[in-house]
């Protein structure tokens, strides 16, 4: 590391314990730009800040949506990455939960109002004022752009830092910080488990975690995929059944079959086709976030009192619970470890569903 000390006017507005750090990163400068090396400044430590050296960062499909401004909210330059695992290198004077050397994680958010009814319940992701995303958002104090995990280090308030066990390989733990919690949270909310039939749509980053977690909670899990070559892996990951969703005959056999379906699809697709696979009172939990709105035929819901629901990541307490659960049960992500210079190719492969089942960046490759 050859970090230089630079203090920006924005940093001077807050009480600082140390100068800011110039940090190597990868950023997109515009929706149609490839990600490329870029230097950012991390803020000087505030009293309750934790600074960590990033060891690994998972590559979520949300990183692609955001880098390309597909959700219309991106602030450029954007440094994506919200599946961060690292080691604490410094802490502010008032930090009580962490110390240098601890293994920690940071997920999709780095702050929230802390006072609204949802924040008080530990549902910071549904903060009524608005959570602060790990990247492409504005810091609540300085107004600076937040930059994510495709970088060497990050500074985060201790309340948004998670404790990571050393029981599991760290690179495989990184995807739990988004893909893990985003599937754990709805499965827990709807108490999916023994005696339930669960369908998982899309065998990518979120889908493979939904499969592992659903099986671990005791549900019978069926993988609903567009990729026939993923069947063997789906079964290895815990699927009891596998159905090709492009084959109408296979879908017909599953009509009215599932108590729950978790939809992790990143692109435009037909929700009605999958809603028809729900049993009476079945729930389809949408976590995949295609940029375009979808049409839903309400009669599919009415005829079986079916529910179409959504779920966003998970709060800080539940994220810690999920990390602890995964450490205890030996659950982590199946990954392809990449150098950061491969990131643009990784995006192209994810867009073709060629992901097995999460790309994780080895941050040692960022020099």
Q: Which residues of this chain interact with ligand NAP, rule CB under 6 A? A: 60-62, 65, 178-179, 182, 202-207, 225-227, 230, 264-267, 269, 287-289, 311-313, 350, 353, 355
Choose one: 52-60, 138-146, 151-159, 211-219; the region binding Zn ion (CB under 5 A): 52-60
289 binds, among ligand NAP, Zn ion, none (CB under 5 to 8 A by kind): ligand NAP
CA pair distance 343, 73, nearest whole angstrom? 22
Least Å distance, CB 350 to ligand NAP, is 4
What are the structure tokens assigned to 365, written together?
Answer: 């490759």
* The only residue of 10, 22, 36, 116 in contact with Zn ion, by rule CB under 5 A: 116
Indicate whether 289 belongs to the interface with Zn ion (CB under 5 A). no
* The only residue of 113, 244, 279, 337 in contact with Zn ion, by rule CB under 5 A: 113
Least Å distance, CB 158 to Zn ion, is 17
H/E run at residue 194:
none
Site string for Zn ion, 171-210 (x = CB under 5 A): -------x--------------------------------
Q: Which parts of 92-135 fold into alpha helices (H)?
A: 117-120
CB 303 within 8 A of CB 144: no
Residue nearest ligand NAP, CB atom distance? 204
Least Å distance, CB 22 to ligand NAP, is 30
Choose one: 124-132, 190-198, 223-231, 346-354; the region binding Zn ion (CB under 5 A): 124-132
* The only residue of 40, 67, 127, 161 in contact with Zn ion, by rule CB under 5 A: 127
CA pair distance 341, 345, nearest whole angstrom? 9
Closest CA to 301 of 315, 283, 328, 288: 283
Least Å distance, CB 218 to Zn ion, is 26
Residue 164: CB atoms within 10 Å: 25
Burial of residue 116 (CB within 10 Å: 0-12, 13-18, 19+) is middle
Q: Hunting for tokens 């063997």 — which residue is that?
A: 232
Torsion sign over Cα 202, 208, 209, 212: positive
Task: For residue 46, give the DSSP letter.
Answer: P
User: Contact positions toward Zn ion, by CB under 5 A?
Assistant: 60, 62, 112-113, 116, 119, 127, 129, 178
């Amino acid at each position: 590391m050859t970090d230089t000390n630079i203090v920006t006017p924005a940093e001077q507005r807050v009480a600082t314990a140390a100068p800011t750090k110039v940090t190597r990163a990868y950023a997109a400068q515009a929706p149609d730009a490839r990600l490329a090396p870029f230097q950012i400044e991390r803020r000087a430590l505030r009293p309750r800040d934790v600074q960590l050296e990033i060891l690994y960062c998972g590559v979520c499909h949300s990183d692609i949506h955001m880098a390309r401004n597909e959700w219309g909210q991106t602030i450029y330059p954007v440094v994506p990455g919200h599946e961060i695992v690292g080691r604490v290198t410094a802490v502010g004077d008032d930090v009580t939960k962490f110390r240098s050397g601890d293994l920690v994680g940071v997920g999709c958010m780095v702050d929230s109002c802390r006072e609204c009814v949802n924040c008080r319940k530990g549902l910071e992701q549904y903060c009524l004022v608005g959570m602060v995303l790990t990247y492409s958002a504005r810091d609540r104090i300085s107004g600076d752009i937040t930059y994510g995990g495709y970088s060497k280090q990050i500074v985060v308030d201790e309340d948004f830092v998670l404790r990571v066990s050393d029981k599991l390989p760290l690179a495989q733990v990184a995807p739990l910080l988004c893909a893990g919690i985003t599937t754990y949270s709805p499965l827990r909310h709807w108490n999916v488990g023994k005696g339930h039939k669960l369908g998982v749509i899309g065998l990518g980053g979120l889908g493979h975690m939904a499969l592992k977690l659903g099986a671990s909670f005791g549900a019978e899990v069926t993988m609903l995929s567009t990729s026939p070559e993923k069947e063997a892996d789906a079964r290895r990951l815990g699927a009891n059944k596998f159905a090709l969703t492009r084959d109408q005959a296979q879908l017909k056999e599953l009509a009215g079959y599932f108590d729950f379906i978790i939809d992790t699809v990143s692109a435009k697709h037909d929700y009605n086709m999958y809603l028809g696979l729900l049993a009476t009172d079945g729930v389809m939990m949408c976590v995949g976030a295609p940029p375009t709105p979808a049409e839903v035929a309400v009669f599919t819901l009415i005829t079986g009192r079916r529910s179409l629901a959504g779920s966003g990541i998970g709060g800080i307490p539940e994220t810690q619970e999920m990390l602890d659960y995964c450490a205890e049960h030996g659950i982590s992500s199946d990954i392809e470890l990449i150098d950061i210079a491969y990131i643009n190719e990784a995006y192209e492969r994810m867009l073709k569903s060629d992901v097995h089942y999460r790309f994780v960046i080895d941050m040692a490759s960022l020099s």
